[in-house]
Amino acid sequence: MSTVLSHPTTVSRHLEAVVQKEKVALSTILASTSNFTITTDAWTSQMTNDSYITVTCHYIDEEWRTRSVILATRATEERHPADNMRNFIRGVLEEYGANREDIVYVTDNASNMKAAFRGDLWVGCAGHNLNLVLSHGLQIGKESNEPSLPEEVSQLIGYCKELVTLAKRTRLNQVLDKTLKQCAVTRWNSVLTTMMSIADNSSDLRTYASEPGANKNVLRLVCSINEELLMQVIAVLKPFDSATKILSTDISASIHLVVPTKRQLQQHLTLVASRQ
């Protein structure tokens, strides 16, 4: 094996040289680029619970091709208030000699991000806005005067989540052609993903639940899920998933699609009687 793989020290030394070479090349490109955009986000590894920040640069090259390159992905032990985020981004840009006044920043709509780029050209992520709309729309109103999710829909979502949790704790997921997917706060449109995974497995779930010796809780949950309502909720949520995918582009512009996408969603949510 030693004749195939180099020593770790050799690999590390060569890697540093490659990184430095690429940084110099990219610095030259950015110096000759009239405009570029920076996207950034902070995230946490589920495996190690370490916090990271990624900075990505987007620009159009001399052949009018859209380019997207990661400038840095680094672990950070600091929290992410506005000042720390601003200093981190500016520090990365300084490494490439690319800290300018006319940069357009695109981030999520968190308060620390808005504050970090106050005074700069900043655009909130439209996909993140849609995710926030759904997150609020699928919550139960805390006050009596707040718009609230219909109780039958709230119960349906609860049953779906409980069924997926049970499937992961039993052998149920192993016998299904498609595994059931659980909701996750950090995964956009995950309520839709959960519901669609149950709808896709509805026939197999009924068959399993009716078998002798089947888990009684599986039978209870399968019987509690109103399939007609399930399909209706999926039909309401699907256009939001499509809109998110359309707007969440990497190597093509999508800002011109924000307004027409919003208009289409507004029409989608308008009661049929109100359209006539």
User: What would the pLDDT profile of 136-166 be if each residue is shown by its tens digit?
Assistant: 888 865 655 566 788 999 999 999 999 999 9
The pLDDT, as a whole number, for residue 8 is 80
User: Domain residues of the chain, as ranges?
Assistant: 8-124, 134-275
Q: What's the one-letter identity of residue 204?
A: D
Rounded CA gap, 115 and 85, in Å? 9
Residues 6+ apart with CB under 8 A from 186: 43
Vertex 85, ends 80 and 89: CA angle to 5°? 150
Q: How far is CA 109 from CA 16, 68, 128, 145, in A?
A: 35, 21, 7, 26
pLDDT tens readout for residues 98-140: 999 899 999 999 999 999 999 899 999 999 999 988 988 888 6
Mean pLDDT of 213-218: 88
- CA gyration radius for the chain? 24
User: Which has the closest alpha carbon to 127: 255, 266, 268, 267?
Assistant: 255
SS3 content of the chain, % helix, strand, coil (to 5): 55, 15, 35
Mean pLDDT of 1-5: 62
For the chain, how far is it from start to end, CA to CA, in angstroms?
74
Phi, psi of 192 (to 5 degrees): -60, -45
Count, residues in the chain? 276
User: Which has the closest alpha carbon to 71: 84, 87, 90?
Assistant: 90
**What average pLDDT does the chain have?**
88
Rounded CA gap, 157 and 163, in Å? 10
pLDDT tens readout for residues 48-58: 888 899 999 99
**Strand pairing partners for 58?**
37, 68
**Strand pairing partners for 37?**
58, 104
The pLDDT, as a whole number, for residue 24 is 93
pTM of the full predicted structure? 0.80
